[in-house]
Amino acid sequence: PADPTSCGGGEFLYTVCNGGSLRCLDSELACSLLEDNSEDVASSPAILWSIENAHNVGINKLYQLPYNSPCGPILATGDDVGTVRLWDTRMCASQKANNGNPFDNLMKPPQGCVQQWKINHDYITDFTSNHDGTALLATCADGKLSVFDMRYVKQKGGTKSIVLPDVDPNWDPTQNQPQQQQPQQQQQKKKSTWETHGYTQSENQEDELLSCTFIKKSSKL
């Protein structure tokens, strides 16, 4: 697995891999399987549920939000191309192991995925969250820190799949500089991405951001 994590009580072990799968294992059964040196892992009763095509590319990071998060029991995954997906483990548990066509999830997120953001343009390197789970923070190799509002997930009328183009829409290649911004009066009327799509981003730090953690009683990142 590329990245494992476990639930608060240690009953379940969640794993992801560079093949794009997301799995939930019964920790006790998984340990007994290792002791027995069994090679038949795919059909093991230790695997409670499996989403083989959770992402269409390799998954680098897996993170479990605090149980008091406003969006419920949620897992966050980040992949090779900057996509962040949130998974409701209750919805994932309602389906059996899925070995479907890998092209099934190209147009829409698979079952269990309650939110998707594609606002970064390189692999996701790390996740963390604030103490009450209202904000998920992600670092990326494209040099940007992204912050996602977990309250947006439950917001009525919110867009469940947010994808930004890989090219800056304001970039004018003929002038080799961004197009002029709208007048200040019009800018003030425009809502922020935090309000409309539940995220915000830092400026490009001109280097890969590889990890993140809170310090000084969560006052600094």
The β-bridge relationship of strands 113-118 and 83-88 is: antiparallel
Other beta carbons within 10 angstroms of residue 91's beta carbon come to 15
Q: How do residues 117-126 score in pLDDT, each as one tens digit? A: 999 999 999 9
What does the pLDDT average to over 199-208? 95
Q: How far is Cα 60 from Cα 126, in angstroms, rounded to an integer?
A: 8
The whole-number pLDDT of residue 197 equals 93
Tokens encoding 7: 């639930």
pLDDT of res. 78: 97
- Is residue 110 packed enough to be buried (19+ CB in 10 Å), middle (13-18) or exposed (0-12)? buried
Question: Does the pLDDT value for residue 128 go beyond 60?
Answer: yes
Average pLDDT of the chain, as a whole number: 82
pLDDT for 220 beyond 50:
yes
Q: Which residue is associated with the tokens 């038949």?
A: 40
Nearest Cα to Cα of residue 64 among 152, 110, 3: 3
Helices H / strands E in the chain, number of each = 4, 15
H/E segment holding residue 6 = strand 3-6
Question: With 80 as the cut, is the pLDDT of residue 176 above it?
Answer: no
**φ, ψ of residue 199 in degrees (nearest 5):** -150, 160
